[in-house]
Structure 1
């Protein structure tokens, strides 16, 4: 049984696989280790490249996930697929320095630490060639994480860390969500007791090959993760995201109605129908891209999904109006009546589309 498993989540990192294996081998000389690539079915052949190397080196393993995406969930699956008592997570683009793995392991061997975090913000660390904009975003994300963290980490955005198996299992049973990219925040926020941690400095390096996976959807995933940690035990986080998109859809509806009715001179009823279809389509596209990113519909299924979404939301609209009218007729304050109708419609739309439009 290896003492240490290094989990490397990958997507389109075929050009870096061999270099990662070589770097880990140099860094962990004399250690019984294994390297676990967890690949989200990369079209560039990352999984195939990892398996080719594994044929010659039994310390290299590959878990290929088909139909699933997400860095955090990939890390969790990789760690659970290992039997090692110590578990590390690092990126597959060589921006994390594998030379830090040995000091991390030595720290865990002392028995007084649950998790060792590679930090860019303690003395001796650095962010490398981060742009001013990216540094600003990182600082903002760090401040937002304070709302859910149970530790005074200097670099909660780090994706480079090592922890013991008991610490991992405690966090998993504490409710790790596996949402998005910031698995370290998820672990600390889910721990049933404060984790004993040590931060070791490292300098973030430039990518060796391939392209960065960071985009605007990473920001969305991070906000959803924070929301899940704050209120997820009371309200499903997907419902919150679904409702937020619905709020934006109201704005789209009003803007479209104004343009068609006031700007183009179309009669009100026709303009209302057009605005409803536009808003409904907007809600479907955004929810398909963000709220149900892990169940995204593509190709022909995208069109059939729109049909089922439109049908469900049409029924939800009738329920909204019906409940509001029924309460108002019974002398309920008009604001309460309206909000009750909106809530019933929103719950209906979320429940039905979750089951039929974006079913697993």
Structure 2
């Protein structure tokens, strides 16, 4: 997929992967527009082959919202691929991601961007850490255990990599090795490339429409495989300690 011309490119691209989120996506787009009003931004919604009215709702909104762009997969490829599609197509050098179900609060996005810009070029990612999570007890317990194990083994200092709300530099993201579910390992992979990461508390909201696309058991099996893979990538990394042009 070709990237749009960079003429008058926005500073920030908000990338939102959506799958069967007809009830949440249009309202979320309006919230994002309000949160980033007065800034140089675009929204890139990536429809991951939804089976409901998600695509039609976004296309209708696109006609009245010039900041909105809608990209669409021909077949379902998962959240990480949808994020990558959005980043590849984005025109901004700063990327903000958030989940398409409306649980992440777009109002927190600008503060992550400001922290990223203030941190210097070696700060590649500022991640959100959800405060007072509005999920089931079982999901919160599973997340706490998973985050604890991952943090100990990968030493990425992140308490909540499952939070979809993140701000990062597009160039840094595209340096990372792609694999399915990469979005949960961005802090560790950024550190592997020699970048710094930081984290800020963000709001979390109840899901009011649709249903979760994940189960605790399903996530457990893929997480074990992914965790071993990222540990292998870390073990094979070599740091040149900087580059000089002679």
TM-score w.r.t. structure 2 length? 0.83
Alpha-carbon shift at residue 150 of structure 1 (Å): 4.6
| Residue 167, structure 1, aligned to residue 172, structure 2 | yes
Relative distance call for 1:218 and 1:114 in structure 2 (3 A) is same
CA RMSD of aligned residues (A): 2.1
Mapped contact 2:112–2:167 kept (Cα < 8 A): yes
SS at the partner of 1:87? Answer: strand
Match of 1:202 in 2: 202
Match of 1:3 in 2: 11
| Residue 142, structure 1, aligned to residue 150, structure 2 | no
Alpha-carbon shift at residue 37 of structure 1 (Å): 1.0
Match of 1:153 among 158, 175, 180: 158
Q: Give a deviation string over 1:211-234, Cα, whole Å, max 9, x none.
A: 111223233222221132234799
Q: Which has the higher strand share?
A: 2
Alpha-carbon shift at residue 25 of structure 1 (Å): 1.3
SS at the partner of 1:56? Answer: coil
Q: What pairs with 1:215-294 in structure 2 (closer than 5 Å)?
A: 215=215, 216-231=217-232
Match of 2:178 among 176, 179, 184: 176
Alpha-carbon shift at residue 68 of structure 1 (Å): 3.5
Alpha-carbon shift at residue 196 of structure 1 (Å): 1.6
Match of 1:259 in 2: none
Q: 2 CA distance for matches of 1:183 and 1:148?
A: 17
Match of 2:54 in 1: 46
Mapped contact 2:13–2:92 kept (Cα < 8 A): yes
Query: Which deviates further from its counterpart, 71-80 or 222-231?
Result: 222-231
Mapped contact 2:128–2:201 kept (Cα < 8 A): yes
Q: 1 CA distance for matches of 2:229 and 2:193?
A: 18
TM-score w.r.t. structure 1 length? 0.58
Relative contact order higher in (CA < 8 Å, ≥ 6 apart): 2
Q: Give a deviation string over 1:135-170, Cα, whole Å, max 9, x none.
A: 210111112213553521121222210101232123
Q: What pairs with 1:334-353 in structure 2 (closer than 5 Å)?
A: none
Unmatched tracts of structure 2, length 5 or more: 1-8, 236-246
Match of 2:211 in 1: 211
| Residue 119, structure 1, aligned to residue 119, structure 2 | no
Q: 2 CA distance for matches of 1:229 and 1:42?
A: 30
Q: What pairs with 1:54-133 in structure 2 (closer than 5 Å)?
A: 54-112=62-120, 113-120=123-130, 125-128=131-134, 130-133=135-138
Q: 1 CA distance for matches of 2:60 and 2:153?
A: 41
Q: 2 CA distance for matches of 1:219 and 1:37?
A: 28
Mapped contact 1:176–1:190 kept (Cα < 8 A): no
Q: 1 CA distance for matches of 2:106 and 2:174?
A: 24
Mapped contact 1:95–1:206 kept (Cα < 8 A): yes
Q: Give a deviation string over 1:33-62, Cα, whole Å, max 9, x none.
A: 111111111110212221221122221111
Q: 2 CA distance for matches of 1:214 and 1:159?
A: 14
| Residue 188, structure 1, aligned to residue 198, structure 2 | no
Q: 2 CA distance for matches of 1:184 and 1:26?
A: 27
Mapped contact 2:148–2:159 kept (Cα < 8 A): no
Q: 2 CA distance for matches of 1:150 and 1:32?
A: 35
Relative distance call for 1:221 and 1:116 in structure 2 (3 A) is same
Q: 1 CA distance for matches of 2:206 and 2:38?
A: 28
Unmatched tracts of structure 1, length 5 or more: 235-360
Q: 1 CA distance for matches of 2:148 and 2:213?
A: 23
How many aligned residue pairs are there? Answer: 223
